[in-house]
Structure 1
């Protein structure tokens, strides 16, 4: 038998199988003196196959279970985690957590979520695809990716071609009555192309991931994207330093939303370390801009039926008609700011709830990327970014980029080794979205044109 045939698909994961161990751990925590507690468990299984030169290169097959406990005594809390789910280990885990909580510094904002805010009837968001992928199927997909990339003129090598499948289950329980879980799945494939001309090489990649296999774009389209991007980078030049309009291609435009999410996180606001700390209920974008956070999006990349504290979640317009409408709050940051949680708690295995968003997207505009480009006499289309730098207090932003020079409203030649800079407040105000939004990640935007950025080149 070869390496692939040794790997067998097991029965599907079920979040309900995690409930008994959480019951035992929670009971032990209360026995040792916890006044309040919550427990979380995850069970994950993943399989990925990579190929090189038409042959199997690597197989990664993994499975694991983890459990986390947070205990609260008065205004003190502590969190512990383990991958050992034996009864003896659970007993030691609970005892240690309570002992740690008694010695922890006081945190007046710690505690469980208000029971009246808990989700009692969670929706089915279609996060689990029962389609099981075998190693042989993944190998075939990876080989198809490699063949597609290698078939494109100008490509000298296909590299890192792989296909993957994973599934996971999560269960969460609190001492004040919340108990539920869900299961999810993910299918993915991707590859890198190396293009060569006159002894010069460039590389680029493409990858896609979806909850359901049937939603995954065709392998040929992903492979062609990687290959054509690599070829387009050949002959790259620097540009002279100047100020010019910049278009962030859809693939990289979502990074500007990431900066926004960090800036409106309750943690940043409570610490006073955000350039938007005084911007609530004020316009920070043009009046036609709307940015949504939708945890209830069916089959969404970051969808969830409740937040990391069990709180009911809902779709929110973070930016409505250009106006910042809300901070992102969990129970702790809400208490600190004298507000109510917005259902944005994020809970991991090894610590107390943090703050984070789910499926964030900017609503598309009316114009195509081509039309936005046609209005630019001299500018830059950004297709890749690396090493971003952001001052969270001022919003000053810079990032190394590569892309395509725009001349006379059209693509001219490849550009590399340049840096663009600006202030996010100014960038947000002058931003124009295109109409090419695609929901291919948890934080997405259409192509975005931004006026008057500073480019540092040769």
Structure 2
């Protein structure tokens, strides 16, 4: 923790102690005005983003921003305001603004801070090793981006165009507290390298992209590896064609499979449930996935992209099994949504924490070629377009491209098709999950094989 503090002091303009003082000043003024409860959070972020295209520098952007957010409760009335001015006068004016909003807002009987017994205490806030600042200059970042794009161009003569490559280094820290006794904060970082090459010419052009993103820049894939893999993906899509309309099994590449897990989270999140705008309303304890599937949530993964010692309300987080043998064991609830449902918060204000979907059938050798063999004859999807998911009914319809697979082998690339189904049937129809796991944000999952979907083509 002490090493993190020294690193943070070297990177940021504002120290943790400064933020503590700002938060305490805001809370004290809220009490003085007569607030029943109040919360405050001070934060600062800074970073560098560099982009190049066709061997030339395009943009260099540096960002540094700060904010103090105040939430005030007058009984069950809530008001919120924020400022980027950290002077005492500005803080008091911001608290006053939040207080005035609360006084004239309609009363909500479940509005309020978390219950005292849900709040993470200092000894329950482990150091999750989330902060690894990257002391990279704009010249160094540009060099990495150029190497990444150059590796894509060098892969094959058919790649002579690009949408560009980029390098990003981002760091932030915050401190928050509220009148129910919570105090806490930490620093974090997120760095990335990306590229989007274009293969072919004219009507035959195909693009693809790849990236590497990590908390610690030393763990990023090399720019050459990112560039080559993105190029290989674009090349594989050349001479794509349409296929006729049919029903067939569909294999979702692992980055897209994370999107299916994300759809499940959306459908079992508090806001969707208490508004009854989800196809999984009242699903607790019920079979939603195929019986061989489990979903784990672990907020304490070291350097995890979804790791957090507490949620956005200061509620303690904990590892749990949210799906066990296909049955729903837990929702994703904040204090507010939990009260609306007559339940307890699950520590998910702000979202889920490091979800992993696994199958009890998966073997270590179930890599992508093995998953294609399991698919047999059907569609392997590597790109989805559009937002065609109806969370009220579960209906699913997305533009897609990928590969037609015949007898377990890729036959040819396909494009300009639509895949459709219903998420209820798709979840129950998951036949296999690959060992080719990929971490996409806060979700980790292998490729997913769904037994049947409608494919609309020519």
* Shared fold, TM over 0.5: yes
User: Which residue in the other structure is 1:408 paired with?
Assistant: 407
* 1:176 positional shift: 2.0
Matched, 1:281 2:281: no
Task: Give the aligned partner of residue 441 of structure 2.
Answer: 441
Distance, in Å, in 2 between the alignment partners of 1:181 and 1:266 is: 25
C-alpha displacement at 1:23, in angstroms? 1.5
With the length of structure 2 as denominator, give the TM-score of the two structures: 0.93
Q: Secondary structure in 2 aligned to 1:230? A: helix
- Equivalences for 1:10-29 in 2 at 5 Å? 11-13=10-12, 14-29=15-30
1:317-365, Cα deviation, whole Å (9 max, x unpaired): 111111110111111111121111111112xxxxxxxxx2121221252
382-391 or 361-370, which moves further after superposition?
361-370
Return the offset for 1:78: 1.0
Counterpart contact for 2:52–2:59, Cα < 8 Å: yes
1:109 positional shift? 0.6
Cα distance in 1 for residues equivalent to 2:61 and 2:202: 37
Per the alignment, residue 163 of structure 2 pairs with 159
Separation in 1 of the partners of 2:201 and 2:100? 65
In structure 2, the CA distance between the partners of 1:52 and 1:197, relative to structure 1 (3 Å rule), is: closer
Query: How many Å separate the matches in 2 of 1:338 and 1:396?
Result: 28
Secondary structure class of the residue paired with 1:363: strand
Q: What's the counterpart of residue 89 of structure 2?
A: 88
Structure 1 pair 339–402 and aligned structure 2 pair: CA distance change class (3 A): same
Does the CA-based 8 Å contact 1:386-1:399 persist in structure 2?
yes
Distance 1:370 1:160 in 2: 30
Match of 1:145 in 2: 148
| Alignment partner, residue 325 of structure 1 | 329
Q: What's the counterpart of residue 254 of structure 2?
A: 250
Deviates more, 1:365-374 or 1:79-88: 365-374
Could you tell me whether the CA contact under 8 Å between 2:258 and 2:440 is conserved in 1?
A: no
Deviation of 1:229 (Å): 0.9
Quote how far apart the aligned CAs of 1:10 are. 8.9
Note the C-alpha offset of 1:130. Answer: 3.9
Instruction: Name the counterpart of 2:453.
Output: 453
Deviation (angstroms), 1:60: 0.5
Q: What per-residue deviation string (whole Å, max 9, x for no partner) do you get for residues 277-321 of structure 1? A: 122101111222111222111101121110111111011211111
Q: How does 1:423-434 map onto structure 2 within 5 Å?
A: 423-431=422-430, 432-434=432-434
Q: Note if contact 1:15-1:183 (Cα within 8 Å) is conserved in structure 2.
A: no
1:139 CA drift (Å) = 1.4
When residues 376 and 308 of structure 1 are mapped into structure 2, their CA distance, relative to the original with a 3 A threshold, is closer
- Partner Cα separation in structure 2 for residue 311 and residue 227 of structure 1: 44
> Partner of 1:303 in structure 2?
307
* Partner SS state of residue 372, structure 2: helix
Q: Distance in 1 between matches of 2:444 and 2:238?
A: 27
Aligned: 1:136 with 2:135: no
Match of 2:4 in 1: none
Superposition deviation, residue 377 in structure 1: 4.1
CA contact (8 A) 1:257 1:444 kept: no
Q: Give the root-mean-square deviation of aligned CA atoms.
A: 1.6
Q: Partner of 1:352 in structure 2?
A: none
SS in 2 for 1:420: strand
Alignment counterpart, residue 182 of structure 1, candidates 171, 182, 186: 186
Q: Measure the CA separation in 1 of the matches of 2:235 and 2:178.
A: 54
Secondary structure of residue in 1 paired with 2:99:
helix
1:55: Cα distance to partner?
A: 2.9
Partners of 1:15 and 1:387 in 2: CA distance:
42
Q: 1:65 to 1:376 in 2, by over 3 A?
A: closer
2:37 is the counterpart of 1:42: no
Structure 1: gaps (5+ residues): 1-8, 347-355
Give me the TM-score of the superposition, normalised by structure 1: 0.93
Indicate the larger mover: 398-407 or 130-139: 130-139
Q: Deviations over 1:45-102 (max 9, x none)?
A: 0101112233322100010101111100111111111212222211211111111101
Looking at structure 1, the residues matched to 17 and 318 of structure 2 have their Cα atoms a distance apart, in angstroms, of 24
**Unpaired runs of at least 5, structure 2:** 1-7
Query: How far is the alpha carbon of 1:198 from its aligned partner?
Result: 7.0
